Amino acid sequence: MKRKALLQNLALVGGSLLLFFMLGEVGLRIGGYNPMPDVSEVLKEYRNVEPAVNEPDSKYGWVNKPGHYSTIDYGALGPALQKQAPLLMGMEGNARKQLMMSLLLGHRNQSLTIRPDRSRNTTDQVNEGKPGASALIIGGSYTFGLGLPDHSTYPYILNGIWKDLAVRNFASSGYGTYQSLLRMEEEFSKSNPSVVIYGYIYNHELRNVGSYGHIVAMNLLPRSGQTVSVPFVSVTKAGILRRHQPETYPYLARNRISYLLAFIADRIYRIHAYGRDKEKAEVTDQLLRRMKSLAERKDARFMVVILSVPDQLRNQVQNRLSRIPVETVDCDPDDSVEQANLLPM
């Protein structure tokens, strides 16, 4: 009798869970909930026109992948797309897709070179092996020069201007201040750069704390076609920086078989990452202090180059940098070409 009652109770619980699961699946799909999109096919086509120039790494999350690549000349692609816009608007399906692919492949003529040490090329053969002191440049995609050929990146240009400094560009697309500090620490363990330049954009602050939005975004369309993990930093109650190993968006939250499981996993991860954004300013300031301190211990000059900050936050960011204090050069995108030549060297 007891066994029969137990089986009935188990059947009731199982049936209730199954009903809940089915209602949840149907409700989420009807309600328009959409887990992270399946980008495998998009990635397959994307890699036909844009190479994967990075690869996973257990320390940095990802690193530049050595090699010589041909990338799209986006500067020339824009006018070409405008010219073909009327034709593209009148096309559908495969015809439109084929024309787009033709335009992309036709403008894949830019040279992008990653050296064996994972730095981006900053020199031509004539200047190769420049003797003397070196300048270490770190940062994210602005400094790496995403979408630009080697000779158009600002580290390459500076290498031509500074005849007595060998400029090494260790920036990587998607990096923030923390990953830049990790790179700075590694390079100082192997050499002694006399100058360190960190290319700052405001979005780096969210990257530093591993915000929910940043980690999700990094896994939407990774160029390598693999899951992306992001290292980050938090602040303890005592105000001490705590370094965290690379973390990724949960697999269950990305699955498209069960929308309910994806929804639950996403909500759990949101709770897990909740509140990180609030620490972004303090974390970034402390990271910059560590960069400055490391440079001073090695008798190197450290400066921050501001590359992109929302206008309404510019004064706030500049005030924070002045309180550290750290040498700063403001190269707003509107006047970056002129300001780059004013770097105080």
What is the DSSP secondary-structure string of 66-106?
A: -EEEEEE-HHHHHHHHHHHHHHHHT--HHHHHHHHHHHHHH
Q: What is the CA radius of gyration of the chain?
A: 24
On the question of pLDDT at 8 being above 80, the answer is no
On the question of pLDDT at 267 being above 80, the answer is yes
Going by DSSP bridges, is the β-strand pair 165-169/133-139 parallel, antiparallel, or unpaired?
Answer: parallel
On the question of pLDDT at 46 being above 60, the answer is no
- Give strand pairing partners of 197: 137, 303
pLDDT (mean) for 202-212? 97
Please state whether the predicted TM-score (pTM) of the whole model is above 0.85.
Answer: no
pLDDT (mean) for 279-283? 97
pLDDT on residue 246: 96
Paired tokens of 269: 């991860």
Q: How confident is the model at residue 7 (pLDDT cuts 50, 70, 90)?
A: low
- Give strand pairing partners of 199: 139, 305
Do 56 and 229 contact (CB within 8 A), yes or no?
A: yes
Domain boundaries, the chain: 1-33, 40-66+115-340, 72-114
Of residues 53, 174, 206, 192, the one with CA closest to residue 135: 192
On the question of pLDDT at 334 being above 90, the answer is no
On the question of pLDDT at 23 being above 70, the answer is no
On the question of pLDDT at 312 being above 70, the answer is yes
pLDDT on residue 126: 47
**Residues 6 or more apart in contact with residue 280 via CB below 8 angstroms:** 205, 206, 208, 209, 211
On the question of pLDDT at 342 being above 50, the answer is no
% the chain with pLDDT above 70 = 69
Q: Which CATH class is domain 40-66+115-340?
A: alpha beta
Please tell me the least confidently modeled range out of 8-12, 53-57, 88-92, 290-294: 8-12
